[in-house]
Amino acid sequence: MPTPISSLPNLGPAVEAACARAGILSAEDLRALGTDEAYARLIDAGTRPHFIGFYVIEMALQGRPWNDCQGDEKADLRARFDAIKARRKGSAPDTAFEKMMDELGVLEPDPIKPRVP
């Protein structure tokens, strides 16, 4: 029997629904694809790219807390995220204004952001 995506640390029902829209139906599917391919599929399925969502998936697949990613590891993940985002059609880079609005929580919520315990 497939393991639900929401059984992974940091990932809840909203991530599970976004993954389902991208054809990723289980934790096993997510692990097999890996973070980069899975996130590319999420973007293709309509998820708005967001760096936190990307690294939350990476941390979940490693069984680590979502906020455990720091320093050089976080910089490496950012480079991977930026490369994935740049390759997806219709995925323009964030403007300074979008970044500011996102930090304020004004933009539409991202379903890939972590659950707050």
CATH of the domain at 48: 1.10.150.20
Q: Does residue 78 belong to any structural domain of this protein?
A: yes
Distance between CA atoms of 75 and 97, rounded to whole angstroms? 22
Give residue 86's domain range: 5-104
What are the pLDDT digits (tens) for 6-53?
Answer: 999 999 999 999 999 999 999 999 999 999 999 999 999 999 999 999
Six-digit token pair at 1? Answer: 């029997």
Q: Does residue 113 belong to any structural domain of this protein?
A: no
Q: Does residue 55 belong to any structural domain of this protein?
A: yes
Q: How many domains does the chain have?
A: 1
Q: Does residue 14 belong to any structural domain of this protein?
A: yes
Distance between CA atoms of 76 and 107, rounded to whole angstroms? 26
Coil, helix or strand at residue 97: helix
Q: Does residue 109 belong to any structural domain of this protein?
A: no
With a CB cutoff of 8 Å and minimum separation 6, the contacts of 101 are 107
Q: How far is CA 9 from CA 45, 59, 64, 102, in A?
A: 23, 8, 7, 24
Q: Does residue 44 belong to any structural domain of this protein?
A: yes
What are the pLDDT digits (tens) for 73-92?
Answer: 999 999 999 999 988 765 55
Q: Does residue 112 belong to any structural domain of this protein?
A: no
Q: Does residue 83 belong to any structural domain of this protein?
A: yes
* Conformational region of residue 82, where left means phi above 0, alpha means psi within -120 to 50, and beta covers everything else: alpha
User: What pLDDT is attached to residue 88?
Assistant: 79
DSSP 59-73: HHHHT--GGG--HHH
CA-based nearest residue to 114, from 49, 40, 53:
53
User: What pLDDT is attached to residue 92?
Assistant: 52
